[in-house]
Amino acid sequence: MIARHSAALAASLIAGVLLLVAPGAAVAADRNAADTARLLAGMPLDAASPLAPMTESGSWQRHAKRFDAAWDKFETRQLKRIRTWSDAHIPQRKPVVYYMFSGPDYLYANAFFPDASTYILSGLEPVGPIPDVAGLSQGALASELAQLQQSLNSVLSFSFFITKKMKTQLKAGRIRGTLPVLYVFLARAGKTIQDVELIALDEEGTVHPDADLPKSRARGVKIVFAGEGGKEQTLYYFSTDVSNGAIERSGFLKFCEGHGRGDALLKSASYLMHSGGFTTVRDFVLARSDAIVQDDSGIPLRNFEREDWEFDAFGNYLGPISIFPGRYQRDLRALFARQKTDKLDFSIGYRWRPNQSNLLLARRADHVSKTD
């Protein structure tokens, strides 16, 4: 009896210790993710952070200086102007944003739709492991930071990722995959990461821990974060094939359907929805979006039911660049010609040079009549 009582008391004490330790462990993990993001982004850390000593190295300080300069230019040239455009032209926004063919491009999703509660991004690029910089030597850290900078060069210069280069760049090194890029973008956007979880979808679109579904066709990450005002937001990125057939088998389509109506962003999408191989994802975006912001590489104008949508064209439509022959849209050119299109003071898509970009804002007619 005494032995049984002692065992019960010991179990109770152990449980109490675990209750005391577990919250602290969770906070430490969250802080580690936030600190890692700031370290990778070249941003200062709290002096009490375990990672703070790594910021004293010359390689990190050079990395921070280069990132600061690049980001200042990028913020002025692109992001600030996009936010101004979005505030003026999309005053009513849905809480969910669908951004297909995005890769890890949270930056533009946030610029166009900064107040969303949930961002759902997809691409073929792998998620990779949760970044772990602890224990890296100065030389190893310098190498990883240089690789990260190379991964970001195209999006900071041209507004889009170059898929072929990313396939190589995101597989190299200890810090690999799309997660380090997402960390950098979140930190530079002024967000604080609260929780990171590697996930996978079953065929019904149900979310599971990644390790539980080794054969999943849609592996991803869920990142919970907060902005300056403390509002909690969630970012999902899935590495998955969204071509016809594959998108149904992976569970990704059902996952998206479970999030209801939203707004959509499509840019630098390789004109994939112009072909017959991506009609399912195209039809989903058309059916589930109240507003679609896209360049000409997104959904062809011919696929919109004209009576259901109202269009506002911005910039100049010059047709696709040479590596995408056969994707010229005469009806889109006619739309741009009919409308006295406003100039874009930022670049978007494959035609990233000044005064060459085009942007189409498509809004459901019933939504426009209620909000305008």
Residue ranges for the chain with pLDDT beneath 70: 1-30, 154-172, 367-372
Give me the pLDDT at residue 372, please: 52
How far apart are the C-alpha atoms of 43 and 63, rounded to whole Å?
10
CB 317 within 8 A of CB 289: no
Give me the pLDDT at residue 8, please: 40
Give me the pLDDT at residue 343, please: 87
The pTM is what?
A: 0.88
Give me the pLDDT at residue 56, please: 95
Tell the burial category of 182 from Cβ atoms under 10 Å away from its Cβ (0-12, 13-18, 19+). Answer: buried
Give me the pLDDT at residue 10, please: 39
Give me the pLDDT at residue 150, please: 81
Give me the pLDDT at residue 300, please: 98
| 127's tokens | 């998620």
Give me the pLDDT at residue 103, please: 93
Give me the pLDDT at residue 18, please: 34
Give me the pLDDT at residue 155, please: 60
The domains of the chain are located at 2-262
Give me the pLDDT at residue 156, please: 65
CB 198 within 8 A of CB 127: yes
Give me the pLDDT at residue 30, please: 61
With a CB cutoff of 8 Å and minimum separation 6, the contacts of 153 are: none
